Amino acid sequence: MKRNVKRWLIWLGLIISAVFLYFAFREINYADLWATLRETRLWWLVPGLAIYFSSMLVRTWRWQYLLNPIKKTTTKTLFPMIFIGYMGNNVFPLRMGEVLRTVVLKRREDISISASLATIVVERIFDAVVVVGFVLLNLGQLAGLPGTGSFTQLGSLAVWAAAIFAAGLIFFIAIAMFPKPAMRLIHAVISKIVPKRWREGTISIADRFLDGLMSLRSPKDAVMIFLTSVLVWLLETGLYWSVNQSLGLGLTFGQLMLLNGVVNMVLLIPAAPGGLGTFDAAGRAMLQTYGIPAEPALGYTLILRMALWIPITLVGAIFFVSEGLEWTLDIEKMQAQAETPLEATTKGEPHDGQ
């Protein structure tokens, strides 16, 4: 049953990607698109990629900060895992890269998968709040622009999204601030709805998940995580700026922040790995809203996609192979292996690439 659900979700993502790819490439003059790509000044991508890789370093530091209440780790240890996770999201379906890096962390540092998964959930909520904030801060740019019909509801959608993610963040902060009452409540709910034979294991997973939220207990720590999240997305927008320079489109940084925010909001729609189709259609549509013709708009989006996808995926694949992981990605088998005493005894051994 579980495998059937996964299979249907994978097929749903592929169908959604196919639909969005149609919208991304429809009514395109391919001769003009090729001319746009040929005229790209690729050397402009060098500083952009340097900025983007620095954002990965900030992401690593943020994750280290989130993990500190559970166990002290080092940036050197976590940096490859961040790349493995993002490579996994780009290659494997259902955003399995998030689970993948929790499994690798368990193998390397013996940190509970449930606890580390909680830190990743916190990461994603902070990311979502910042991304939606980018949209809200720069939404006024769309006023008065021609061809904004498809974006007329963007403001209200962003407000609703901000409210939902902010509510989720407040919920997790409340749990972190009052862990004992929260634990009692969760235990009571589990005892009522979970069959007895699974109750003990579910409670154990829930307790470890709560451990992963402890970084939010301090307002100072929560502010620090928020500020690093803002820095992450400003640095990523630096790559958007670099691609803009390579094509000479003349977009402002504020416009690129809005583009980044809108594209990543659209990426919440389930699709094939790497946001295939959803990323491309959203990028083209937003750039055309700025008055850029279809071919340069799609050309920008394709170059940006390659810059975001290829380097991270290649580096992540190198770290993936150095970990001795299998491309079949049997997560359940990997989790079982990560829990064995053998893995626990080898977690302190030197590791290639770290």
Task: Give the tens place of pLDDT for each residue, 45-102.
Answer: 999 999 999 999 999 999 999 999 999 999 999 999 999 999 999 999 988 999 999 9
**Residue 118, amino acid:** A
Q: Tokens 């498809």: give the residue.
A: 150
pLDDT the model gives residue 349: 37
User: Could you tell me the sign of the dihedral formed by the alpha carbons of 56, 330, 265, 174, in that order?
Assistant: negative
Which residue range is the domain that position 178 belongs to?
A: 9-18+33-143+152-341
Query: Average pLDDT for residues 250-263, to the nearest whole number?
Result: 94
DSSP state of 141: G
**Residue 242, amino acid:** S
Q: Rounded to an integer, what distance in angstroms lies between the CA atom of residue 349 and that of residue 354?
A: 11
* Any domain includes 351: no
CB 91 within 8 A of CB 313: yes
Q: Rounded to an integer, what distance in angstroms lies between the CA atom of residue 286 and that of residue 192?
A: 48
CB 301 within 8 A of CB 284: yes
pLDDT the model gives residue 85: 95
User: Could you tell me the sign of the dihedral formed by the alpha carbons of 123, 237, 303, 319, in that order?
Assistant: negative
Q: Rounded to an integer, what distance in angstroms lies between the CA atom of residue 48 and that of residue 64?
A: 25
pLDDT the model gives residue 339: 56
Give SS3 for 94.
coil
Q: Report the percentage of the chain scoring pLDDT > 70.
A: 88
Does the pLDDT at position 341 exceed 60? no
CB 283 within 8 A of CB 297: yes
Number of structural domains (the chain) is 1
DSSP state of 268: T
Across 142-146, 236-240, 296-300, 340-344, least confident range: 340-344
* Any domain includes 25: no
**Which band of pLDDT confidence, cut at 50, 70 and 90, is reported for residue 264?**
very high
pLDDT the model gives residue 34: 96
Task: Please name which of 325, 349, 328, 348 lies closest in space to residue 337, comparing C-alpha atoms.
Answer: 325
Query: Average pLDDT for residues 174-203, to the nearest whole number?
Result: 88
pLDDT the model gives residue 106: 93
pLDDT the model gives residue 139: 77
Q: Across all residues in the chain, what is the average pLDDT?
A: 87
pTM to 2 decimal places: 0.86
pLDDT the model gives residue 143: 62
- Looking at per-residue pLDDT, the higher value among 227 and 201 belongs to 227
* Any domain includes 346: no
Residue 342, classified by CB atoms within 10 Å of its CB into exposed (0-12), middle (13-18) or buried (19+), is: exposed
pLDDT the model gives residue 219: 84
pLDDT the model gives residue 155: 66
Element housing 315 (H / E):
helix 294-322
Query: Average pLDDT for residues 119-131, to the nearest whole number?
Result: 93
- Looking at per-residue pLDDT, the higher value among 151 and 105 belongs to 105
pLDDT the model gives residue 80: 95
pLDDT the model gives residue 338: 59
User: Could you tell me the sign of the dihedral formed by the alpha carbons of 254, 255, 258, 263, in that order?
Assistant: negative
Q: Rounded to an integer, what distance in angstroms lies between the CA atom of residue 265 and that of residue 228?
A: 20
Does the pLDDT at position 220 exceed 60? yes
CB 259 within 8 A of CB 286: yes
DSSP state of 150: G
* Any domain includes 162: yes
Q: Per DSSP, what are the bridge partners of residue 272?
A: 276
